[in-house]
Structure 1
Amino acid sequence: MTLLICGSTSESINLLGEPIAKSGEGTIWRTNHGHLAKIYHSSNIERVQKLEVMIAHPPKEPNSHLNHVSFAWPKSTLKNAQGDCVGFLMPEIKGAKELIDIYNPQRRKSLKLQIDWRFLHVTAQNLTSIIAALHTAVYVLGDIKPQNILVNNRALTSIIDTDSFQVRHPRDGKIYRCLVASPDYTPAELIGKDIASINQTEVHDRFRLAVIIYQLLFSGQSPFVGHWTGAEETPEPNEIIRRGLWLYAPNSLLKPVDRTIPFEIVHPEIQRCFFRCFNDGYHNPHLRPSAREWLQALKVASNELILCGRVDSHYYSQSYGKCYWCDRSTQLRVDIFPGLARPKQQSAFVESTSPHTKPVITQPPTKPTATTDSDSYLVFFVVTSLVLLPFALTAAVIAGGSGATGLIVLGVAVLLCFIAFGQPE
């Protein structure tokens, strides 16, 4: 048990048990504080300054109304007995799986996760929503990969390893770079470059996000893996990316194979986004769809999914016109979204009664216009007055009173309604 000091509260922090995770940068521990601690193998001034900027300027949590943690953001530095910063505290993301466990059929099966194609659409939508929120806060994720994305049973996503982000100080503009990059998720213009010496932008994140969305919607398949038709040996995925090739690039030497899920099954808006990212974006990275543009396309696609009339865990796009998963199951004898067969007479539009988890769709990270309490009272008063005014005037005339009497009667009636129904929501 190691004793540390919380930089923001001066509380004593104990590391409990054994490390729960290890990486090239440090180890993750549980603590007596309820948060996780990341302890670096070695620290330096640059890393400490970056942490201090992140702690002082966290992004707004877009899903606080759902009691959900979208980012494992540093909460406080951790110091040793000598006062040196050795790591930081961050919230623990509980009850979630790595993204690969969600989109990979074999891993879903081994973990007995009941997930359908709609769940994967909503997961993509929710992930895109929180990445849009980070970009709005001028953070660049840099190392976007499945291991850094967690998903719970409501399709709510969380991003970990946030201290690897590229951070810009909001006052002096100093940039603390992302020092790492993952193969297969690095855009062509950065391949072979010294990542640690490059100031990245959210345009670079756009490529990484598109690859993740592709893996989600195509059950783990990569847009850069297929049958190589070139004369030379099949290049590594990074070399394929560097050359601007993917399964559906013009004149691509990479072709789909029998088990490749056809591109046409996804909604046309999704198809257009992929073309913009991998074709147009190869020549001009700024043409890649932003996180917000992906969010709109995914919302359209999710809303047009149809429940299969034969199997309760099959959803398909209305634009495709039929259940691809049933066809795939018949042809390949493997159902990657297994469920219960429906009676033949049952309609395709009947709500599923299976135990599959119903995902929660989060709202896009826009600035909400909240109705204030004073607005609510004003609306309540005006509506109630308009409704009761005729009755109050009639009552005053019958009683032989004047218009003023009617207004007094109206005021009393509104007050009684207010007392009876309480404060408006």
Structure 2
Amino acid sequence: MSGLTVFLDGKPVTLAELPLKGGGQAAVFPVVGDDGIVVKLYREPPGMEQERRLMRMLTMSPLAARPTDRSQPPELAWPTALARGPQGEFLGYAMRRFGEPDHVQVIGLFTRAQRLKLFPDRADWRFLLGVAWNLAFMTARMHYDNLVIGDFSSSNVVVDANGFVTFLDCDSIAFNDPVNGELFPCLMHTTDYSSPERQAGGPATRATDDFALAVLVYQLLTAGNHPFGGVPHDSASESTVKDNIAASCSYVVRPERVVIPRGTIDPSVLPPELLTLARAAFGPGVHAPAARPPAEAWLRALDKERSLVRVCPSRPLHTFGSHLTSCPWCTRAATTGHDVFNGPAPVSVPVPDPRRGQHPGDPDGSWPAALKVAVLIAVLVVLVIIGLMS
């Protein structure tokens, strides 16, 4: 069934009657007859400020200087056109479509049932590590391009079958107009990924992005566990994740302070360098933004671990960090009766390594030597440039 007709660059398009998704401020609609784009319509008149923001965004090409593999989707769901009504009134904007089955929200990787449904025989710990690497790379790269994600959460990022990530809701990204320097701030945030200063109404910054990135990386490496879950022992009432963040109460740093939720995976599944970064972010980094590990620190540590991942000899979907001498997932399954990763059928081919820029058609993730060197040099150059500018 058809719904509203809107105009994109003067061309009329008809939207489906039902949205793909909706929130408190906007809803995203498919376009009838065009599966490649969607239109985001604001529920309340967005006003001149938002229209001006999007007009400036249409003149920008963020991340355009970085070459990507042809099989890789765009890294940002950037606005492609303004959506207007019949009288020229500003209603929203169009963007590329990123949805199931080709793309799923990162939150879909946080439960076993969803992982097996969406990524059968693929979404092991090594795959989650690769997604975490891509998130860290993208965060560092966006900061290098002077973009602040702002509303950074597991629902605003989608991932494809190769582990490549795409950021949604780019209309909330904070940036300075490259022509006149005018700041367009991010006014949105998601509480479970918001640092205390962001919760208190402070602006979105690189440091607030670094906090959200740390939470997301930790969730990925623990198959969905939030580092600020649980209830403090001294709490008089049920505590929320937001409360625990504000109180700097994380079981990753001070487990003795928290009644840890049943089934929580022990933080020791993280390799030592990554666990050190997590404890810095969820300990001193909660209230001291300068103490939070930046995105490039996560990137370096994740990159080091990717080549060292171990594979369980008994169950091919059990992969784990190089610091462990035995499979933690087998141990957990034997103890609890719950297998975090293993699917109903064994895999018959090697599990792909979801590295950004993976060589097309190479199922075991191996690259030609020259390509390995080229990619490594490119990553190091970006890190050096970021370091010089920080």
Which residue in 1 is equivalent to 2:348? 353
User: Contact 2:132 / 2:220 at 8 angstroms: preserved in 1?
Assistant: yes
Q: Which residue of 2 aligns with 1:247?
A: 251
Deviation (angstroms), 1:311: 0.7
Change over 3 Å in CA distance of 1:226–1:367 after alignment to 2: closer
**Cα deviation per residue 1:298-357 (whole Å; 9 max; x = unaligned)?**
111222111111111111111122110010011111111114899xxxxxxxxx734856
Task: From the two aligned structures, give the one with the greater helix fraction.
Answer: 1
Are residues 136 and 328 of structure 1, via their aligned partners in 2, closer, same or farther at CA, if it must alter by over 3 Å? same
Question: Which runs of structure 2 are paired with 1:126-275 in the superposition (5 Å)?
Answer: 126-191=134-199, 193-194=200-201, 198-226=202-230, 228-230=232-234, 232-250=236-254, 253-254=257-258, 256=260, 259-275=263-279
Aligned ranges 1:5-404 → 2 under 5 Å:
5-7=7-9, 10-31=10-31, 32=33, 34-41=36-43, 42-61=45-64, 62=66, 64-67=68-71, 68-94=73-99, 95-109=102-116, 113-114=120-121, 115-191=123-199, 193-194=200-201, 198-226=202-230, 228-230=232-234, 232-250=236-254, 253-254=257-258, 256=260, 259-339=263-343, 353-354=348-349, 358-362=353-357, 366=379
CA distance in 2, matches of 1:213, 1:313: 20
Kindly indicate whether the alpha-carbon contact (under 8 Å) linking 1:223 and 1:246 is maintained by their aligned counterparts in 2. yes
Q: Residue 46 of structure 2 contacts residue 90 of structure 2 at CA under 8 Å; is this kept in 1?
A: yes
1:53-85 Cα shifts (integer Å, max 9, x gaps): 211123115563234121111011122222222
- Classify the secondary structure of the residue corresponding to 1:120: helix
Q: Give distance in 1, aligned partners of 2:281 and 2:149.
A: 18
Gaps of 5+ in 1: 343-351, 370-425
Partner letter of residue 348 of structure 2? T
Contact 2:119 2:161 in 1 (8 A): no
Structure 1 residues 266 and 249 mapped into 2: Cα distance closer, same or farther (>3 Å)?
Answer: closer
Task: Specify whether residues 291 and 112 from structure 1 end up closer, same or farther in structure 2 by C-alpha distance, changes over 3 A only.
Answer: closer
CA contact (8 A) 1:151 1:157 kept: yes
1:28 partner SS: strand
Specify the structure having the higher radius of gyration (Cα).
1
- Secondary structure class of the residue paired with 1:280: coil
Q: What SS does structure 2 have at the residue aligned with 1:147?
A: coil
Deviation at 1:228, TM superposition (A): 3.3
TM-score, normalised relative to structure 1: 0.76
| Whole-angstrom distance in 2 between the partners of 1:339 and 1:81 | 52
SS of corresponding position for 2:192: coil
Change (3 A) 1:134 1:243: same
Q: Which moved more, 1:355-364 or 1:327-336?
A: 355-364
Cα distance, 1:226 vs. partner? 3.1
Letter in 2 for 1:83: G
TM-score normalised by structure 2 residue count: 0.83
Structure 2: 5+ residue runs without aligned partners? Answer: 358-374, 383-390
Q: Secondary structure at the match of 1:281?
A: coil
State the Cα RMSD in Å. 2.6
1:110 Cα shift?
5.3
Q: How far apart are residue 221 of structure 1 and its match? A: 0.9
Partner of 2:369: none
Counterpart of 1:387? Answer: none
CA contact (8 A) 2:120 2:343 kept: no
Aligned residue type for 1:333: G
Q: Distance in 2 between matches of 1:265 and 1:85?
A: 49
Q: Secondary structure at the match of 2:274?
A: helix
Contact residue 222 and residue 265 of structure 2 kept, 8 A: yes
* Secondary structure of the corresponding residue to residue 58 of structure 2: helix
Q: How many residues align?
A: 354
Q: d(CA) in 2 for partners of 1:117 and 1:216?
A: 8
